[in-house]
Chain A
Amino acid sequence: NAGVTQTPKFRVLKTGQSMTLLCAQDMNHEYMYWYRQDPGMGLRLIHYSVGEGTTAKGEVPDGYNVSRLKKQNFLLGLESAAPSQTSVYFCASSFSPRDRSYLDEQFFGPGTRLTVL
């Protein structure tokens, strides 16, 4: 099992450009999440999904859009990148926390380092 994978690992954008980050998981998890982490800061939740076809806003959703067309994939889009979106982006997934037979354990990908000039 590959676990949680993220594509790409690094990217440099110019202000105003758009891009999509791809997250894939092969653990049949229901929940998926997108976080951003700035230097010296904790993780802040951007958007999350509780199942295929559903998405919800997290703490810092502005400037981002997401889609969960397939259970195993969660896409994060930046329509018009800004320097303030320079960050490391982490994707995570978990079993459905509604099922208490599982721990609320999130499995994280390796991250995508994005720089917006």
Chain B
Amino acid sequence: LAKTTQPISMDSYEGQEVNITCSHNNIATNDYITWYQQFPSQGPRFIIQGYKTKVTNEVASLFIPADRKSSTLSLPRVSLSDTAVYYCLVGDMASGNTPLVFGKGTRLSVIA
């Protein structure tokens, strides 16, 4: 399984764009990149998934460079309610691999 590295914590002011970068140097050809969000006392919630280039949904954007060795989750104009832990996962269960590893994630604190 591809190992991921992401910052332990980040701080941001309300209204700013936040970019969280995840490094995954040994990503495999079939691997997808998935991000989850976890609020205190809740289970994680799927945010976005991508394979290459850019993916955007109503919550976030995911930027993946051509070499796919890293990815960046972009949260536009964060609010206090975006304070959470964000997990980057890399893998491909469709290939029969073992389930994805969550790791410790990035703790984002949004300040008023």
Interface residues of A (CB under 8 A from B): 4, 31, 33, 35, 40-45, 48, 56, 58-59, 90, 92, 97-100, 103-111
Kindly list chain A residues whose C-beta atoms are within 8 Å of the C-beta of B103: 42
Contact across chains for B94 and A97 when beta carbons are under 8 A apart: yes
Determine the main DSSP class of B at the interface with A: loop
A8 to chain B, nearest CB (A): 15
Question: Contact partner of A45 among B32, B44, B94, B99, CB < 8 A?
Answer: B99
Q: Which 3 A-B pairs have the closest CB atoms?
A: A108-B43, A97-B93, A43-B102
Q: Decide if B45 is an interface residue (CB 8 Å cutoff).
A: yes
CA distance A44 to B87 in the complex (A): 13
- A46 CB to nearest chain B CB (Å): 11
Q: Within 8 Å CB of B87, what residues of A? A: 42-43
Chain A: CB-nearest residue to B87: A42
22 intermolecular pairs with C-beta atoms under 8 Å apart: A42-B102, A42-B103, A42-B105, A43-B87, A43-B102, A44-B102, A45-B99, A58-B99, A59-B101, A90-B44, A92-B43, A99-B94, A100-B94, A103-B49, A104-B34, A104-B49, A105-B46, A105-B49, A106-B44, A110-B43, A111-B41, A111-B43
Whether A90 and B43, one on each chain, are in contact in the complex, defined by CB atoms closer than 8 angstroms, is yes
B-to-A contact residues, CB < 8 Å = 32, 34, 36, 41-46, 49, 87, 91-94, 96, 98-105
- Residue pair A110, B42 in contact (C-beta under 8 Å): yes
* 20 further contact pairs, Cβ within 8 A, besides A90-B44, A104-B91: A31-B93, A33-B99, A41-B104, A42-B102, A43-B44, A56-B98, A98-B93, A103-B34, A103-B46, A103-B49, A104-B34, A104-B49, A104-B94, A105-B34, A105-B46, A106-B46, A108-B42, A108-B44, A109-B43, A111-B41
Contacts of A106 in B (CB 8 A): 36, 44, 46
> What is the bound-complex CA distance between A45 and B93, given in angstroms?
14
The residues of B that contact A31 with a CB separation of less than 8 Å are 93
User: How far is it, in angstroms, between the C-alpha of A89 and the C-alpha of B95 when the chains are bound?
Assistant: 27
